[in-house]
Chains A and B, each alone.
Chain A
Amino acid sequence: MGNIQSISYFLPELMVIATVVVALIADLVYSDRNSYKVGYLVIAGLVVASFTLWLSLPEETTPIFLNTIVVDPFSRIFKFVFLLATFIVVLMSMNSDELKGVRTGEYYTLMAAMVLGMSLMASSVDLIMVYLSIEIVSIISFILAGYLRAQVRSNEAALKYVIYGAFSSGLMLYGLSLLYGLTGTTKLFQLSGSISSLGPGSNLTLTVSTILMLAGFGYKVAIVPFHFWTPDVYEGAPTPVTAYLSVAPKAAGFALLIRFFNTLFGTGQPLNSPVWQAMEGVPWQDILMVLAAVTMTVGNLVAIQQKNIKRLLAYSSIAHAGYILMGVPVLSQEGVYAIVFYIIVYLFMQLGAFSLAIVVSNRYGTEIIEEYSGIGWKSPYLGFFMAVFMFSLTGIPPTAGFIGKMYLFAALINGGSQFYWLAIIGVLNSVISLYYYMRVVKVMYFQGGREKDLYVPGGMSAAIVLAMAIPSIYFGVRWSFLADWVNSSLKFFIAGF
């Protein structure tokens, strides 16, 4: 579709851009003390953007802006995920003590811009657009990680992030350039056509190019060999930013990964066909399987040793990336379905756990797990919900995390016997994660004094925690609504096949 006609399909993103512009102008007007008000503007903008997105036709699949990005149900559901995550994190940031006394106008503006970057990541079908959108998300992540300039910890986080980021984006660019060199086009659809006509002589090149590109995607998603930045960045960044980074860019990375591999290295079946074939000759399926296994194992094993709740959640988020990655090489509708379902569920439980960590750090001034002792008795509200999130993250039955994991494992088992070993490793890893998640619960309830001060956090913080906890439980009991929605969203734009 042409550039001018495309604009009407681009309205939600345009709303986000308008939000960025308005927020930036407002930031110029507000004084330092009032700059937090930009946050309200951003929230309003996100609501408007969500509304516009809701009004857009859900079944529409069309490429816009001359095949640079597409509008389809798959990107639509991810855009909702980004908007929701950003919305929650902006609210969380407003109630975080860490960001008090710091000028936050730029902070909220950048968050709004991040939504745009992630939306483009989820919908781009052009190598240039892929790279640009990844760069937008990366650059904003660097800045947000180092937002607390006065803290050495935050600075260190930003610096490490930048260095790893530059390195991995360099590798990815090299991979993309190999692809371009082989095919002479940057459009994903044309690329997949050219690749299938290349013949077996180019398989090695394609494999190397895949690995190099995986470095870029894997960096965003924090898959294991590219995860080194995660713990330091997650620990050093302001807690709301950590929560954000561990959810939203990850989801965007997975959206991109799925689209990329389905379009490029599949044989062109639509996403909702029960099984899609992988291209012959390039062992990307095996590569992804091994990466998934290594990712969750490393994430979990290192998470056991963590003493800081942020670091614990950081490493466990690596493990979760591993779980989610299991769904990609299955190459079936079930696999992708499980991934999207898990990402949505993961959003609620991860953001919930982080928002509780913020409340605890505001109230008791600690991020050390051992110092959580007795919180379960001191503040039953915090204790109960932390336990809910920990149960959900582990995947214990009456919670949403269980349903998410169940779908993932079911997809693996139904995928065929070559995935059994991966499923077994996944289950073993869930057992490992049980240990460290339950330790948090144990410390809260079975250690320390049992004095009661019946602390209930103030309005907004309590509301965020509740808003995250309800879906975490509700989707564990009744998930048919979410399941239907995810199922109806498994539709890519597919050209010319």
Chain B
Amino acid sequence: MTIGVTINSLPVINSSTSMYRDFGTSFIFVLIGIILVAVPLLLQRILSPRRKTAEKMSTYECGEDVEGPAWVKFNIRFYVIALIFIIFDVEVVFLFPWAVVYKELGLFAFVEMMIFLGILALGLAYVWRKGDLEWVKYSVPYGRGRYRKLTIIEETPASPAPAPQETAA
């Protein structure tokens, strides 16, 4: 459609040589990063003496004996939060090209993005209202005066050891 604006062609880096220069630089940095980690690890593997004893192999050499595996069940709350995060992450990704072409498209793009954001804000309102953003869930009786019957839902811990959950956050 014609919206009365033409897109000014910006100097786009298109020739592959400059691409290799630009990304080549960052690639070298990545390589250096890998080497800086790998070489010391390799060195210590070669140089350090290794005499395994039962004491040494235990998780805490002078602490409690470990009970059960370190992998515990996470609370499902993490999962919900991660899901919400992905949805809004995708939304933010759409904002990026929008910002780039905003100058050319002007009001039209603004309205478009506002519709897009409005629909997703509805999702945020939904999540908020249903209390999925709260870490500890309160059951707020809907529509009967704010916080009148505020009760904390008794929640049985999902895992035998709830402590590692906190650290994992």
Q: Identify the A interface with B (CB < 8 A).
A: 1-5, 21, 24-25, 27-32, 66
The smallest C-beta distance from A442 to any residue of chain B, in angstroms, reads: 48
> What are the nearest 6 A-B pairs in CB distance?
A2-B1, A31-B142, A28-B129, A3-B1, A31-B143, A24-B122
Give the secondary structure class of A's interface: helix
Bound together, the chains give a CA A221 to CA B146 distance in angstroms of 48
Bound together, the chains give a CA A1 to CA B125 distance in angstroms of 35
The smallest C-beta distance from B111 to any residue of chain A, in angstroms, reads: 10
Contact B1 A4 (CB under 8 A): yes
Bound together, the chains give a CA A66 to CA B119 distance in angstroms of 22
Bound together, the chains give a CA A29 to CA B143 distance in angstroms of 7
Contact A29 B122 (CB under 8 A): no
- Chain A contacts for B142, CB-based, 8 A: 29-32
Q: Which of B133-152 contact A (CB under 8 A)?
A: 141-144
Complex: chain A residue closest to B130, CB-CB: A28
Say whether B18 faces chain A, with CB atoms less than 8 Å apart: no
Contact B2 A2 (CB under 8 A): yes
Say whether B126 faces chain A, with CB atoms less than 8 Å apart: yes
Complex: chain A residue closest to B144, CB-CB: A31
The smallest C-beta distance from A95 to any residue of chain B, in angstroms, reads: 25
- Chain A contacts for B126, CB-based, 8 A: 24, 27-28
Bound together, the chains give a CA A5 to CA B2 distance in angstroms of 11
The smallest C-beta distance from A75 to any residue of chain B, in angstroms, reads: 21
28 contacts across the A-B interface (CB closer than 8 A):
A1-B1, A2-B1, A2-B2, A2-B3, A3-B1, A3-B3, A4-B1, A4-B3, A5-B1, A21-B119, A21-B122, A24-B122, A24-B126, A25-B122, A25-B125, A27-B126, A28-B125, A28-B126, A28-B129, A29-B142, A29-B143, A30-B142, A30-B143, A31-B141, A31-B142, A31-B143, A32-B142, A66-B1
Tally of chain B residues near chain A (CB < 8 A): 12
- Chain A contacts for B1, CB-based, 8 A: 1-5, 66
- Chain B contacts for A24, CB-based, 8 A: 122, 126
Bound together, the chains give a CA A30 to CA B129 distance in angstroms of 11
Q: Which of B105-160 contact A (CB under 8 A)?
A: 119, 122, 125-126, 129, 141-144
Give the secondary structure class of B's interface: loop
Bound together, the chains give a CA A21 to CA B122 distance in angstroms of 8
Bound together, the chains give a CA A416 to CA B118 distance in angstroms of 55
- Chain B contacts for A5, CB-based, 8 A: 1
- Chain B contacts for A28, CB-based, 8 A: 125-126, 129
- Chain B contacts for A66, CB-based, 8 A: 1
The smallest C-beta distance from B57 to any residue of chain A, in angstroms, reads: 40
Complex: chain B residue closest to A5, CB-CB: B1
The smallest C-beta distance from A340 to any residue of chain B, in angstroms, reads: 32
The smallest C-beta distance from A265 to any residue of chain B, in angstroms, reads: 29
The smallest C-beta distance from B155 to any residue of chain A, in angstroms, reads: 17
- Chain B contacts for A29, CB-based, 8 A: 142-143
Complex: chain A residue closest to B125, CB-CB: A28
The smallest C-beta distance from B128 to any residue of chain A, in angstroms, reads: 9
The smallest C-beta distance from B117 to any residue of chain A, in angstroms, reads: 13
- Chain B contacts for A1, CB-based, 8 A: 1
Bound together, the chains give a CA A21 to CA B126 distance in angstroms of 11
Bound together, the chains give a CA A66 to CA B2 distance in angstroms of 10
Bound together, the chains give a CA A1 to CA B1 distance in angstroms of 7
Bound together, the chains give a CA A390 to CA B125 distance in angstroms of 46
Bound together, the chains give a CA A27 to CA B126 distance in angstroms of 9
The smallest C-beta distance from B166 to any residue of chain A, in angstroms, reads: 27
- Chain B contacts for A25, CB-based, 8 A: 122, 125
Bound together, the chains give a CA A421 to CA B3 distance in angstroms of 56
Bound together, the chains give a CA A25 to CA B125 distance in angstroms of 9
- Chain A contacts for B125, CB-based, 8 A: 25, 28
Complex: chain A residue closest to B122, CB-CB: A24
The smallest C-beta distance from B63 to any residue of chain A, in angstroms, reads: 42
The smallest C-beta distance from B42 to any residue of chain A, in angstroms, reads: 40
Cβ contacts B1-19/A at 8 Å (1 or 0 each): 1110000000000000000
Complex: chain A residue closest to B119, CB-CB: A21
The smallest C-beta distance from A9 to any residue of chain B, in angstroms, reads: 13
- Chain A contacts for B143, CB-based, 8 A: 29-31
- Chain A contacts for B141, CB-based, 8 A: 31
Bound together, the chains give a CA A425 to CA B108 distance in angstroms of 56
Bound together, the chains give a CA A66 to CA B144 distance in angstroms of 48
The residue in B2, B141, B142 that gathers the most chain A C-beta atoms within 10 A of its C-beta is B142
- Chain A contacts for B122, CB-based, 8 A: 21, 24-25
- Chain A contacts for B3, CB-based, 8 A: 2-4
The smallest C-beta distance from B19 to any residue of chain A, in angstroms, reads: 22
Q: Which of B53-94 contact A (CB under 8 A)?
A: none
The smallest C-beta distance from B162 to any residue of chain A, in angstroms, reads: 24
Bound together, the chains give a CA A32 to CA B140 distance in angstroms of 11
Bound together, the chains give a CA A4 to CA B3 distance in angstroms of 9
Q: Using A24-B122, A25-B125, A27-B126 as known contacts, list a sample of 17 further A-B pairs with CB atoms less than 8 Å apart, ordered by residue number in A.
A: A1-B1, A2-B1, A2-B2, A2-B3, A3-B3, A4-B1, A4-B3, A21-B122, A24-B126, A28-B125, A29-B143, A30-B142, A30-B143, A31-B141, A31-B144, A32-B142, A66-B1
